[in-house]
Amino acid sequence: MISKFFGNVFSGRIFKGRQPRIVPYSEHGIARERISPCALSVTQTLQEHNYTAFVVGGAVRDLILGWEPKDFDVATSATPEQVRQLFRRSRIIGRRFRIVHVMCGRETVEVSTYRGSALASEENEQQIADEHGRLLRDNVFGTQEQDAIRRDFTLNALFYDPSTQQVWDYHNGFEDLKKKRLRMIGDPEQRYREDPVRMLRAVRLSASRGLDIDQPTRAPIKSLTALLANVPAARLFDEMLKLLLSGHAYECVMALRQEGLHHGLLPMLDVILDQPMGERFVMLALRNTDARIKNEKSVSPSFLFASLLWHEVLAAWKKLEGEGIPPIPALYQAMDQIVQSQAEKLAIPRRYGSDMKEIWVMQPRFHQRSGRRPFRLVENPRFRAGYDFLLLRCASGEVDPAIGEWWTRFQHVDEGERKALLTQEAEPATRKRRRRRRRPGAEPAKQAEPS
Ligand code: ATP
Ligand code: MG
């Protein structure tokens, strides 16, 4: 079945006779023990059935860079149905391009059949690219060398065979990796036109892995940024989420701005970068997220989005109050407006809305530090998120750091001491004195402590 597809592709000029450079273990130093047990067993089983199978993509790149891979992808000559037959716990997923998820214990390995490029095949009767050159389909099977060609960057196109511990390299990706150079396979402008998301990937990979974007790969980006507008919103969202949760969100967002990729194209990024008031807040939120990921703490996308949009909410809230609406109803209306407008633009899917609102709506309650209210707030199941959010507001200069410190103390002491704190709080003279002492050269409050 596969050979039928191969016939087409060998006619393409670029595919003739390209041989991979075989990088031996002595050069790359990746032992098969570094491959996850699931990926190892998948490649081994496929090879036992006379298919070729390699670990591919980000995992090989990250292992050579000395990073722990997030997940393992396998590329094989077997079709999805053939893969499916070999693994009991597996399922075929994807509509546009079908891949197989193979499960072992809690691990899932993504197995894809080598793909060719639809442009290079002879299926030209069907429309395969839009008027800007964006590929609408790339779902033909191909050979391993074609599979390498359709990948984005040279260092993402390395194939590792655990049985021989060899890396197969068709595009000098190994050398680029050693030189920390991010280089597009093929003609960069054409590749960005085929899939504008590659511009975001270039920025994310270079910023998160400390790679330099090769000049010819970087050069076309500035003039092509508008193409991102043609990419389906859900796909952009996925890519943005990857970027924001990469552990290097701060560097990535700075780099996006530097490449001019933030403007007018991604509603969510506009929000992040075009609010001078909120910029400090957003940057702190990004650093805070990065720190949590570095420390292997959980991060919730809703918390992050709540941070990214907070100053939008504040602005809308103030406006509604100015129109005579009482504070709390005005806050609710403002939240609805902002969540609604993000969902309309598909910048942030609706499913995150209620978690974001929970965090926001808690904020005015942190300013009430008398009576029973603080006791109730501490018991709120979402208190921790609300409190972390408050600390960001303190650190950004929006809220008096003393309030954050008060809540830090309040949650950690026993009932009796809590009551004492309340009493102090109710006494205005103390509050004034404390504030005066803190003001000159006051340090911003500590960032949210990872829990
Ligand atoms: P990470 O998973 O760390 O974000 P990755 O490079 O593994 O990075 P994936 O989205 O998992 O990214 O993709 C796996 C591989 O598929 C990539 O290494 C690359 O070879 C290929 N790939 C992914 N997206 C594209 C794209 N837009 N164009 C061409 N090839 C791509
Ligand atoms: Mg990956």
- Count of structural domains, the chain: 2
| Average pLDDT of the chain, as a whole number | 85
The residue out of 179, 203, 236 marking a domain boundary is: 179
What is the reported pTM? 0.81
pLDDT in tens, 320-337: 999 999 999 999 999 999
Query: Is the shortest distance between the CB of 242 and ligand 1 below 6 Å?
Result: yes
Pair (427, 302) in one structural domain: yes
In this structure, is residue 240 part of a structural domain?
Answer: no
Pair (167, 316) in one structural domain: no
Q: Identify the residue whose tokens are 């191909």.
A: 142
Pair (27, 168) in one structural domain: yes
Q: Specify whether 214 is catalytic.
A: no
The residue whose C-alpha atom lies closest to atom 28 belonging to ligand 1 is: 152
The pLDDT assigned to 118 comes to: 56
Confidence of residue 128 (pLDDT cuts 50, 70, 90): low
Q: Specify whether 71 is catalytic.
A: yes
Question: Which of 145, 156, 192, 238 to mutate to test ligand 1, by most ligand atoms within 8 A of the CB atom?
Answer: 156
Ligand 1 atom showing the smallest separation from residue 242 Cα: 4
Which CATH number belongs to the domain containing residue 28 in this structure?
Answer: 3.30.460.10
How far apart CA 112 and CA 97 sit, in angstroms, is 9
* 82 CA distance to ligand 2 middle (Å): 23
How far apart CA 260 and CA 227 sit, in angstroms, is 12
Q: How far apart are the first and last CA of the chain?
A: 53
pLDDT in tens, 201-253: 999 999 999 999 999 999 999 999 889 888 888 888 888 889 999 999 999 98
Which sign does the torsion angle of CA 33, 35, 36, 37 carry?
A: negative
Pair (174, 304) in one structural domain: no
Query: Is the shortest distance between the CB of 58 and ligand 1 below 6 Å?
Result: yes
Question: Which of 36, 99, 145, 152 to mutate to test ligand 1, by most ligand atoms within 8 A of the CB atom?
Answer: 152
Q: Specify whether 147 is catalytic.
A: no
Section 247-271 average pLDDT: 78
125, pLDDT greater than 80:
no
What ligand is nearest to the CA atom of residue 252?
1
How far apart CA 387 and CA 306 sit, in angstroms, is 13
178, pLDDT greater than 70:
yes
In this structure, is residue 247 part of a structural domain?
Answer: no
In this structure, is residue 451 part of a structural domain?
Answer: no
* 196 CA distance to ligand 1 middle (Å): 13
Q: Which domain covers residue 164, as residue numbers?
A: 17-179
Q: Identify the residue whose tokens are 């032992």.
A: 31
Section 416-437 average pLDDT: 58
Ligand 1 atom showing the smallest separation from residue 201 Cα: 27
416, pLDDT greater than 90:
no
Task: Between 260 and 188, name the one with better pLDDT.
Answer: 188
* 156 CA distance to ligand 1 middle (Å): 7
Ligand 1 atom showing the smallest separation from residue 69 Cα: 3
The residue out of 158, 179, 200 marking a domain boundary is: 179
Query: What is the token pair recorded at 46?
Result: 């496929």
In this structure, is residue 201 part of a structural domain?
Answer: no
Paired with 111 in beta bridges are: 74, 100
Q: Identify the residue whose tokens are 């504040």.
A: 314
Residue of 62, 71, 270, 355 marked catalytic: 71
Confidence of residue 427 (pLDDT cuts 50, 70, 90): very low
How far apart CA 183 and CA 169 sit, in angstroms, is 14
* 205 CA distance to ligand 1 middle (Å): 10
The pLDDT assigned to 271 comes to: 67
Confidence of residue 345 (pLDDT cuts 50, 70, 90): low
Which CATH number belongs to the domain containing residue 310 in this structure?
Answer: 1.10.3090.10
Ligand 1 atom showing the smallest separation from residue 73 Cα: 14
Query: Is the shortest distance between the CB of 198 and ligand 1 below 6 Å?
Result: yes
In this structure, is residue 217 part of a structural domain?
Answer: no
Pair (312, 168) in one structural domain: no
Residue of 138, 152, 214, 388 marked catalytic: 152
In this structure, is residue 393 part of a structural domain?
Answer: yes
Angle at CA of residue 55, ends 52 and 60, nearest 5°: 145
The pLDDT assigned to 188 comes to: 97
Query: Is the shortest distance between the CB of 248 and ligand 1 below 6 Å?
Result: no
Residue of 73, 138, 214, 388 marked catalytic: 73
In this structure, is residue 68 part of a structural domain?
Answer: yes
Query: Is the shortest distance between the CB of 57 and ligand 1 below 6 Å?
Result: yes
The residue out of 163, 179, 195 marking a domain boundary is: 179
Confidence of residue 438 (pLDDT cuts 50, 70, 90): very low
The residue whose C-alpha atom lies closest to atom 10 belonging to ligand 1 is: 58
Query: What is the token pair recorded at 283?
Result: 């940057």
In this structure, is residue 187 part of a structural domain?
Answer: no
How far apart CA 109 and CA 72 sit, in angstroms, is 6
pLDDT in tens, 183-201: 999 999 999 999 999 999 9
Pair (166, 299) in one structural domain: no
